[in-house]
């Protein structure tokens, strides 16, 4: 599966092979903790981004559905049991924020959680900054970097994405294993913003 996904990854520094490998590792840990079926979770984790349109692409919200269709076709060609394919496809479809598809199975919830953990912690910070840079967005609003007196605008400023989305990721997680990890990662992100505030002579709001 690694060889196949390498041929499908987008030219997006936040969705490279190391991202996929981390999602697989996260998914394995969460699945083992929660008792999910690895025969569904692992293929879905490997293939969840086999179609991944850029964040500013008009079909962005359909990335996961297109990925699920391609992954199921490929797995069928590889001889994967037909009994597993619907569950794998659903786990891939449901992993995406923008798709808005409810994760109906434990395996889909595990894959969704594994991918969403990538938005948090040191990795989450790095990926956010890489995407913002690739899209040419300024790092922060010079008068109000931490959205103290304005609504977050992550189309305009990279750091705003912390407030618009990333600090809310923990609320969307399903599994206890993922929620515990998310709490530690969010604490690190707040420490990062505190340091950024020191360096820019601004102070982040305590409640984010």
Q: What is the pLDDT at residue 57?
A: 66
What's 140's DSSP letter?
A: S
Q: What is the pLDDT at residue 181?
A: 96
List of residues 6+ apart from 147 with CB closer than 8 A: 141, 160, 163, 205
Q: What is the pLDDT of residues 118-160, one digit of tens each?
A: 999 999 999 999 989 988 999 999 999 999 999 999 999 999 9
Q: What is the pLDDT at residue 140?
A: 96
Q: How many CA atoms lie within 13 A of 67 on its CB side?
A: 31
Q: What is the pLDDT at residue 78?
A: 95
Q: What is the pLDDT at residue 113?
A: 97
Q: Please give the structure tokens belonging to residue 72.
A: 């199921």
Q: What is the pLDDT at residue 59?
A: 65
Q: Considering only CA atoms, which of 15, 124, 131, 129 is closest in space to residue 64? A: 15
Q: What is the pLDDT at residue 190?
A: 97
What's 8's DSSP letter?
A: T
Q: Which residue is it, tokens 């690694």? A: 2
Low-confidence residues of the chain, pLDDT below 50? 208
Q: What is the pLDDT at residue 156?
A: 96
Q: What is the pLDDT at residue 79?
A: 96
Q: What is the pLDDT of residues 76-91, one digit of tens each?
A: 999 999 999 999 999 9
Rg (C-alpha) for the chain, rounded Å, is 18
List of residues 6+ apart from 153 with CB closer than 8 A: 141, 160, 164
pTM above 0.85, yes or no: yes
What are the structural domains of the chain? Answer: 1-105 (1.10.472), 120-200 (1.10.3210.50)
Q: Please give the structure tokens belonging to residue 107.
A: 């395996």
List of residues 6+ apart from 55 with CB closer than 8 A: 131, 135
């Amino acid at each position: 599966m690694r060889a196949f996904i390498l041929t499908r990854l987008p030219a997006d520094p936040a969705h490279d092979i190391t991202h996929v490998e981390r999602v697989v590792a996260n998914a394995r840990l969460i699945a083992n903790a929660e008792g999910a079926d690895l025969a569904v979770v692992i293929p879905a984790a490997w293939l969840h981004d086999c179609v991944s349109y850029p964040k500013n692409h008009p079909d962005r919200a359909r990335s996961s559905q297109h990925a699920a269709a391609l992954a199921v076709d490929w797995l069928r060609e590889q001889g994967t049991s037909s009994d597993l394919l619907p569950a794998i496809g659903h786990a891939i479809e449901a992993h995406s924020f923008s798709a808005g598809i409810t994760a109906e199975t434990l395996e889909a919830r595990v894959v969704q959680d594994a991918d969403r953990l990538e938005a948090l912690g040191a990795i989450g910070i790095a990926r956010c900054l890489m995407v913002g840079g690739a899209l040419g967005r300024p790092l922060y609003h010079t008068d109000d970097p931490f959205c103290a007196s304005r609504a977050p605008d992550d189309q305009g400023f990279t750091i705003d994405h912390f407030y618009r989305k990333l600090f809310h990721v923990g609320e969307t997680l399903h599994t206890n294993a993922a929620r515990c990890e998310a709490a530690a990662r969010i604490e690190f992100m707040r420490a990062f913003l505190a340091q950024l505030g020191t360096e820019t002579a601004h102070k982040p709001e305590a409640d984010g």
